[in-house]
Amino acid sequence: MKRVVYSLIVFVFTLLIAEVVLLFFVKLPDPYAHLRVNSHSTGEVIRLQNSRNSDFAFLFRPNELFPLDASVVNDIHINNYGFRHNDDVDTSKNEFSIYAIGGSTTQGYDYPYDQTWCQIVEKKLEKSTNRSINVYNGGTAGSAMVDHIALLQNRVIHLNPDMVILFSGVNDLNVLLGDNNLHRFDDIHESSELVNWPKLLLGKSAIFRLAYNARNKLKTKSPSLVNLIERKHRAIPDSMSIQFSDHLLPSLITNKLPLGTPPQVNLSYYKKMVTSFVGICKANDIPVVVMTQPTTWNTKDTTLLKYHWMNKNKEFKFSKEFMQGTMDTMNKDVSEIASNQEIPVIKLDEEIPNTGEYFYDDCHFTPKGSVFVGETVARYITENNLIPIK
């Protein structure tokens, strides 16, 4: 009996030593980390925004228009105010601060930090003005004018920006084509997972994590797209979270959809939202620059035509003539608002070639396209003396 008790004590003591060693010297992913995340809501103030002070890896599966030598695994850093910028927002700094607000075409997760058009603008302007410039990237994928206004009101105004750039259009067109909830009423509620206390307790154990992860590695299963991309490009640390986007699948789905009858589009809604955004800036003495939205539905590039993905709720697609015509009208409305409000407008849709060299789908830029946008914006700001030179 003494031998059994002694063996049991030795076994427990050995486990404790192993647990301590693994806990402090070996980083093992927690299989139940998702149960430990504090649920939070952005509420009705800002529907879409980036989590501040966060770092993650963005992976995507490219289509054939994306350069073979371009990175498809990018490290993303979000600063203390939820903007994609390596520096934190600090209003005490002696800088000329520009806040770029838009969707995924501003966000630029498809490129390394220094290839985003915001960073191209920042570096070009610093060189031409000999001033400290920061262009804070407030782009958020999927965000439309209702989100841009919320971001402006609740994340930007109080920072006393020296300039705001608005780059919108395509997400609002997407909303107008397939969404009856223009004003974003919170009618959809997600069910939250019940807390599983045994799992939470087990997940704290380093020995359990080691055994759990070893078991998963021994399982025979086909590698996911994320695994395949990691193998081809570079491994991502287990401690880093991952966001993944498939740039190929949406176009494959859309190409199979039937053509639908073009709907009546409430373009006055978009005009009012852009006017409201400009009005908020002017009421707060913030210089604002607006940009028109380039799209590729009228391209003559046959390869690019294959990768158009926009549709109505995966039910049907619309003719390219209708899509381009509607976007052209929205761009004309933006130019008209700029003229009436006497603010600068960068007519990007008239500047950038709509070919597969600069775009890889309906509206998203290739790395070369992103650089082109940055150079165009910086040149416009410089030539129109929008930044005082000290």
CATH code assigned at 345: 3.40.50.1110
Closest CA to 62 of 325, 251, 341, 253: 251
Q: Is 144 exposed, middle or buried (0-12, 13-18, 19+ CB in 10 A)?
A: buried
Mean pLDDT, to the nearest integer, of 15-30? 72
Q: Are residues 26 and 61 in the same domain?
A: no
| H or E segment and range at residue 14 | helix 2-25
Does residue 125 sit in the same domain as residue 143?
Answer: yes
Is the pLDDT score of 20 beyond 90?
Answer: no
Please say which residue of 173, 203, 221 terminates a domain: 221
Bridge partner residues of 78 (DSSP): 54
Q: Is residue 378 part of a domain?
A: yes
pLDDT grade for 40, boundaries at 50, 70 and 90: very low
pLDDT of residue 5: 72
Judge if 173 and 194 occupy the same domain. Answer: no
Instruction: Report whether pLDDT(321) > 50.
Output: yes
169-196 per-position pLDDT tens digit: 999 999 898 766 666 665 544 444 455 6
In this structure, are 92 and 174 located in the same domain? Answer: yes
Cβ within 8 Å of residue 191, ≥6 positions away: none
Count of CA atoms in the C-beta half-sphere (13 A) of 240: 16
Asked if residue 44 is part of any domain, the answer here is: no
| Between residues 4 and 38, the one the model is more confident about | 4
Asked whether residue 120 falls in the same domain as residue 266, the answer is: yes
Cα–Cα distance, 374 to 83 (Å, whole number): 17
Report the domain count for the chain.
Answer: 2
pLDDT confidence of residue 42: 44
Would you say residue 94 lies in a domain? yes
User: Within a domain: residue 165?
Assistant: yes
Q: Mean pLDDT across the stretch 35-47? A: 55
User: Is the same domain home to 65 and 159?
Assistant: yes
Would you state the pLDDT for residue 200?
A: 59
Q: What mean pLDDT do residues 270-293 have?
A: 98
User: 87 vs 230, which has greater pLDDT?
Assistant: 87
In this structure, are 209 and 340 located in the same domain?
no
DSSP labels, 54-89: EEEEEEEE--TTS-TTS-SEEEEEE-TTS-B-SSPP
- Please check whether residues 377 and 289 belong to one and the same domain: yes
Q: Is residue 239 part of a domain?
A: no
The residue that leads in pLDDT, 195 or 309, is 309
Residue scoring higher pLDDT (323 or 199): 323
> Count of H helices and E strands in the chain?
14, 8
**Judgement on whether residues 105 and 153 belong to the same structural domain of the protein:** yes
Q: Which of 122-131, 193-202, 381-390 has the highest mean pLDDT?
A: 122-131
Evaluate whether residue 388 is within a structural domain: no
**What is the arithmetic mean of pLDDT over 293-306?**
97
User: Which range of residues forms the domain containing residue 273?
Assistant: 54-182+253-383
Identify whether 242 is part of a domain.
no
Q: Above 90 in pLDDT, residue 366? A: yes
Shared domain for 160 and 201, answered yes or no, is no
- CA-based Rg of the chain, rounded to a whole angstrom? 25
Average pLDDT over residues 213-218: 63
What does the pLDDT look like over 94-142, one tens digit per residue? 999 999 999 999 999 999 999 999 999 999 999 999 999 999 999 999 9
Q: Is residue 198 part of a domain?
A: yes
Q: Are residues 96 and 124 located together in one domain of the fold?
A: yes
- State the pLDDT at residue 10: 73
> At 39, is the pLDDT very low, low, confident or very high (cuts 50, 70, 90)?
very low
Residues 313 and 342 in one domain: yes
Distance CA 76, CA 86 (A): 9
- Tell me what pLDDT residue 271 has: 97
More confident residue, 20 or 218: 20
